[in-house]
Amino acid sequence: MALEQTVTATMDRIEKKVVLRAPLPRVWRAISDVKEFGTWFGVSFDGPFEPGKRLKGRLVPTQVDPEVAKMQEPYRGFTFDIVVEAVDPMSRLSFHWHPSPVEPGADYSKEPMTLVSFDLREVPGGTELTVTESGFDRIPLERRAKAFRGNEEGWEKQTTLIASYLARAGA
């Protein structure tokens, strides 16, 4: 059963853990304040994060990195909805969203959402942030495929991907 569980977990979620050299209240503000969130993420929301609230996000180039901002420029104006789940001060922010908005103005309202959560913990020297995005097993393949730009052929040929994919999934 171990293999199955590992694979399911691996295929269904992404988890990122980072230690930021900043005090917890500072990191909490950067996560929970929509303006600050938008600054690093590159999005503008139409209201504050409140539990149960549905917000519209509009992609805007990030203000933190000019180079990244240039890459994001073509996606300016893409919109997506989020539904806020939890806002637990100094501890957790979570929301549901559509993982891959690919067309401006497209209606994604009937498509399944993934759950994104930001969990904060004080550690020596700073704040540990864990970002988890889960629920990918519900996202239709068509949507996933559309999330890629070109270069389909290149990696379709790479049948070796399968081997590394299975090795990683089973690890």
CA dihedral 103, 131, 85, 120 (to 10 degrees): -150
Cβ–Cβ under 8 Å, residues 8 and 167: no
Nearest CB to other proteins, comparing residues 35 and 54: 35
Task: Name the residue among 5, 36, 7, 2 with its Cα closest to residue 167.
Answer: 7
Q: What is the DSSP letter of 108?
A: -
Nearest CB to other proteins, comparing residues 3 and 123: 3
Nearest CB to other proteins, comparing residues 109 and 159: 159
Under the rule (CB under 8 A), what is the footprint of other proteins? 1, 3-4, 7-8, 11-12, 14, 16, 18, 20-22, 26-27, 30-31, 36, 39-43, 59, 62, 64-65, 68, 71-72, 74-75, 78, 80, 99-102, 129, 131, 133, 136-138, 140-150, 152, 155-156, 158-159, 161-163, 165-166
Nearest CB to other proteins, comparing residues 56 and 146: 146
Q: What angle do CA 11, 13, 14 make, to 5 degrees?
A: 110
Helix (H, G, I), strand (E, B) or coil at 15: strand
Q: How far is the CB of 171 from other proteins (least distance, A)?
A: 13
Q: How far is the CB of 48 from other proteins (least distance, A)?
A: 19
Q: How far is the CB of 133 from other proteins (least distance, A)?
A: 7
Half-sphere exposure of 23 (CA within 13 A, CB side): 2
